[in-house]
Amino acid sequence: QVQLVESGGGLVQAGGSLRLSCAASGIIFSLERIGWYRQAPGKQRELVADMSSGGSTNYAYSVKGRFTISRDNAKNTMYLQMNSLKPEDTAVYYCNRFYVKLPWGQGTQVTVSS
């Protein structure tokens, strides 16, 4: 079954950290460019960070310097380390293919309190 399952969200105070995980199955994960996306209430889903199969990365301006995307191809897992979290980072976070999207999963809720 082809799917991406996100985990690791939670409630954290401003300035805190969280590490999200995205477990992939049914795809050749090592060949895929994968992105982390987020959707805040009342807003459109936006790309937060992505990483190519070769390891090149891109970050949204709002998270640059605070978030780090990484991958473990042996575990078919993508990570998003989030540091110095801000209340405006509150959203449901999703992972997905960068180019040809799979059906969106349930995501993982990140709530940052001020």
| pLDDT tens string 65-87 | 999 999 999 999 999 999 999 99
pLDDT at 67: 98
The mean pLDDT of 101-110, rounded to a whole number, is 95
The pLDDT tens digits of the residues spanning 55-70 come to 999 999 999 999 999 9
The mean pLDDT of 15-37, rounded to a whole number, is 96
Strands (E), 40-113: 46-51, 57-59, 67-72, 77-82, 91-97, 108-113
The mean pLDDT of 100-110, rounded to a whole number, is 95
Q: What value, to the nearest 5°, has the Cα angle with vertex 17 and ends 14 and 23?
A: 135
31: CB partners within 8 A, 6+ apart? 53
pLDDT at 70: 98
* Selected residue with higher pLDDT from 22 and 1: 22
The mean pLDDT of 16-43, rounded to a whole number, is 96
The mean pLDDT of 97-109, rounded to a whole number, is 95
Give the pair of three-digit tokens for residue 78. Answer: 């993508």
* Confidence tier at 31 by pLDDT (50, 70, 90): very high
DSSP reduced 3-state for 4: strand
